[in-house]
Structure 1
Amino acid sequence: MPKPPPFSRPVTALRKAALAFPETTEDHPWGECAFKVRGKVFLFLSTGDDTLSLSMKLPQSNGFAILLPFTKPTGYGLGKSGWITATFTPGESIPLPLLLDWLEESFCAVAPKRVSATLAAAPVAKARPAALRSRR
């Protein structure tokens, strides 16, 4: 049986969680996945044989996130707006619960207030996408 790609589990979890947010779509500009809410990107996700790279907007946790060894400010001037890029290689530990928390923060930072408010207004168990609820 062939071995699955090195990042299939985290990519599947991140993709599933991103698409569970309200009004989210997936696009594929520049050969990577972009997850958008009402046309605005909240997650860039790119995989290859030797790297997993993701970029998110983190207005609250940017100061902490940037101290981690697998992160750096996102290029193209996005880092100045709170975007970080996390990069992993095969065999590295991927902190999926942390990345899922960041995903929610990024969604809420980018989504229009009416859309992100649906997460805050509903009871937590029902409002959070299932991929996020199951790890708490």
Structure 2
Amino acid sequence: MAPCEEPHQEPEAAVAVTENALKKWEKVREFALGLPGATEEFPWGETVAKVNKKVFVFLGVTDGSYPMGMTVKLKDEAAHAHAMTSPGAEPAGYGLGKAGWVSIPLDEEGSPAAELLCDWIEESYRTIAPKKFIAELEAR
């Protein structure tokens, strides 16, 4: 295969991965927006979840122009290391990776299950959220 050729993928497989990624995206979005004080905004044409006017998860776009994914801030070293082993995961761009932000594709073969992604979203939320919202979360 020539260096610039894309590997052949059957159309059905591509659709299945995209549908799976969209289902994960919907689950993690719903989870993120269910956290205390969470709001949804659309800066830069991207979906983000914020708490106290600060982003705790970037959810990207769903229009097919970019691979589906999410970006979270993981201060826990074990969680960060685990996230970085996800297929296609990388430190977030724009210097955010230096502060612990990790970008995780949702449409890669073998990408994490929605439950694990939600755990990472909760960790990112706890890093960003004020104590009163964290207390509310723990009281649930």
What range describes the TM-score normalised by the shorter chain of this pair? 0.7 to 0.9
Give SS of 1:59's match: coil
8 Å Cα contact 2:87/2:105 also seen in 1: no
Q: TM-score, structure 2 length as denominator?
A: 0.76
Question: Could you say which structure has the larger radius of gyration?
Answer: 2
- Deviation, structure 1 residue 64: 2.5
Aligned mates of 1:15, 1:68 — CA distance in 2: 19
Tell me by how many angstroms 1:97 deviates: 1.3
2: CA distance between counterparts of 1:89 and 1:104?
21
Contact 1:18 1:103 in 2 (8 A): yes
Residue matched to 1:56: 72
C-alpha displacement of 1:67? 2.7
Q: Among residues 52, 55, 59, which one is paired with 1:41 in the alignment? A: 55
Aligned mates of 1:65, 1:93 — CA distance in 2: 12
**1:55-74 alignment, distance < 5 Å:** 55-60=71-76, 61-74=79-92
Whether contact under 8 Å (1:32, 1:44) holds in the other structure is yes
What are the Cα deviations for residues 60-83 of structure 1, in whole angstroms up to 9, with x where unaligned?
121222233331100111111111
Q: 2:28 aligns with which of 2, 6, 14?
A: 14
Runs of 4 or more, structure 1, over 6 Å off, are none
Superposed, 1:1-136 pairs within 5 Å as 6=19, 7-46=21-60, 47-49=62-64, 51-60=67-76, 61-89=79-107, 92-94=109-111, 95-120=113-138, 122=139, 127=140
Identity across aligned pairs (percent)? 38
